[in-house]
Structure 1
Amino acid sequence: MEPRDPSAVPVARQSPRRHSVRGQILDALRDALVGGELTPGEVYSAPALADRFGVSPTPVREAMQQLAGEGAVEVVPNRGFRVARRSARELAELAEVRALLEVPVMLSLARAVAPERWARLRPFAEATAAAAAKGDRAAYLESDRTFHQSVLSLAGNQQLVVVADELHRRAQWPLACGRAVRTADLVADAAEHMALLDALAARELDVVESLVREHFTSGA
C-alpha cells in the first residue's frame, strides 16, 4: 500500500495547544486519529505530512514515534507510518485489562473517600456531558480521560494514573474496523460518569463495580 497523500487529510486545521512544534503536531495528529481523518491501514510519510503542516519532517517523525509507542501507528521502514487497525478483540482485551486495574482502585476509593470530595469532581463529568451533547468526539475523549484521571488521582499513586491513562488512550483510537460512534453513544457514556460519582459518594460498591465494567466495555 502506497503512502497516502496527506493533502486529503485536513489535520492542519487543528489549533495548537502546546508550546513546542512537536507538541502542536502531536496534538493535531491525535485529533486526526480521533476524528477518523487518519485511516486505519493507510501509510503516511513524515515528509509529506510535514509539507502539509508547514514544518520540517523532524517534529512529525518525533510525534509519530510517540504515537507508535502508544500503539496508534506502526513504523514502516523507508515509507512512513501506518495507522494501526484495532480489532474488536483487541478492544475487548484492553477493556479487561483496564477493569483489572481500575475496579479494585475504584472500590477502595469508594470505601475511603468522603462523599463531599466526589462532589468536587462533578464539573469534570459535566464537561464530558457537554462535549457528548455536541457530538464532538475529540473533545469528549479528551474530557473523558481527564475525568478518569481526576478520579484515579485520589488514590495518591501517580504511576497508576500514568499507566491507566496509557491504556485509556490505546482503547480510544483507532476504532475497530467498521465501528461507528453516534452522538447517542457518547451521551450514554457521559451519563455513566455522573452515575459513577453518585455511586462512589453513596458507597454502593456493587453499583460502582458494575458501572466501571460497563463503561470500559462501551469503549469510553
Structure 2
Amino acid sequence: MTAERSSSPSAAPALPRLGGRRSSYRERVADALRAALIAGELRPGQVYSAPSLATRFGVSATPVREAMLDLAKEGLVDTVPNKGFRVTAVSDRQLDEYTQIRALIEIPTVVELARTADHVSLEALRPAAREIVTAAQAGDLIAYVEADTRFHLGLLALAGNTHLVEVVAELRGRSRLYGLTALVEAGRLLSSAEEHLELLDALLERDEKAVHGIMTRHLGHVRSLWASAD
C-alpha cells in the first residue's frame, strides 16, 4: 500500500489554480479536495478536520468546511460530529464496476468523435493534455487529477450530451487512484500522461482504430495500475 502523505503544510500542495473555470471559491476548493481524494492524498477511513485541511491547502477553514459538506452530499465523505469528515472507502468490486461503465460509455463516444469533432475544438484540449504531462513530470498528483478531469470531460462534452458528461464525472469522482504515488516513484506516470497527447493526435488524424486502442489501454491503466492500493 502506498505510504500516506503527512498532513503538515509543507507536505501538501497549495490549492491548485483553476484558471477562473469556477465562479465560486467554494467550488474551487471542492474541486481541489475532490482531486486530492481521488488521487489518494486523502485516505479512506481517515478523519480530517476542516482546520487541518485548510492549513494543508493554504486556505481558510470556512470554504473547506462548506466544500466538504458538498462532497458529503456526493457520498465521497461522511460527516463525523465534532471531529470533521471521514473519507469513504471504495471496494475493488466498485472500482471494477465504475471502470466497466466508463468503458461502455467513453470508448464508443470518443471513437465517434474521431468522425464528428472539429479540429478547432480538439486542439482546444491540447493545453489540458500538456498540463497533465507537466503535472506528471512534477509529481503533482492533485494538479494531475485536475487537468485529467478537465481533459476527459471536455473531450466528452464535444459529443453534445450533457447527461453523459455528468454520469462520467460522477463515476470519476467516486473512483480512487491510490496507486498514483507508486507510479510517480516508479517513473511510470509520465508515460500514462502522454497517452492524452497520443489520443488527441489520433483524433485529429481521424484514426478510429487508433483511438479505440488508446482509449482501451488508457482505461485499463486507470483500473489495473492507478486504482491499486497495493
User: What is the TM-score when the length of structure 2 is the normalising length?
Assistant: 0.72
CA positional deviation for 1:188 = 1.5
Work out whether 1:161 is the aligned partner of 2:150: no
Task: Give the alignment of 1:46-195 within 5 angstroms.
Answer: 46=50, 54-56=60-62, 59-76=63-80, 79-114=83-118, 117-171=121-175, 173=176, 175=178, 180-182=182-184, 184-195=187-198
Query: Is the CA contact 2:16–2:143 (under 8 Å) kept in the aligned structure 1?
Result: no
Pick the structure with greater CA Rg. 1
What residue is the counterpart of 2:219 in the other structure? 216
CA distance in 2, matches of 1:192, 1:12: 27
Report the residue type matching 1:136 in the other structure: D
* Residue type of the alignment partner of 2:214: L
1:15 to partner: Cα distance: 3.9
Pick closer, same or farther for the CA change 1:143–1:47 going to 2, 3 Å.
closer
Instruction: Check whether the contact 1:110–1:200 (CA below 8 A) recurs between aligned residues.
Output: yes
Q: Which segment drifts farther, 128-137 or 181-190? A: 181-190
2:52 counterpart of 1:40: no
Contact 2:102 2:168 in 1 (8 A): yes
RMSD: 3.4
Letter in 2 for 1:14: A
**Contact 1:22–1:60 (CA<8 Å) still a contact in 2?**
yes
Q: Quote how far apart the aligned CAs of 1:122 are.
A: 2.6
Q: List gaps (5 residues or longer) in structure 1.
A: 1-6
SS of the aligned residue for 2:85 comes to strand
1:64-112 CA distance string (max 9 Å, x none): 2221233431234565421122333322221111111111211221122
Query: In 2 relative to 1, CA 202–19 (structure 1 residues): closer, same or farther, beyond 3 Å?
Result: closer
| Separation in structure 1 between the aligned mates of residue 135 and residue 45 of structure 2, nearest angstrom | 28
SS of the residue corresponding to residue 39 of structure 1 reads coil
- How far does residue 120 in structure 1 lie from its aligned partner after superposition? 4.1
Q: Secondary structure at the match of 1:86?
A: coil
**Equivalent AA in structure 2 for residue 180 of structure 1:** A
CA distance in structure 2 between the partners assigned to 1:21 and 1:123 by the alignment? 23
1:74 alignment partner, SS class: strand
Percent identity between the aligned chains? Answer: 45
Matched residue count: 210
TM-score, normalisation: structure 1? 0.75
Secondary structure (helix, strand or coil) at the match of 1:210 reads: helix
Is the 8 Å Cα contact of residues 39 and 145 (structure 2) preserved in structure 1? no
Whole-angstrom distance in 2 between the partners of 1:203 and 1:169: 30
Decide which moves more: 138-147 or 197-206. 197-206
Following TM superposition, by how much is the alpha carbon of 1:34 offset from its aligned partner in structure 2, in angstroms?
5.3
Q: Which residue of 1 aligns with 2:202?
A: 199
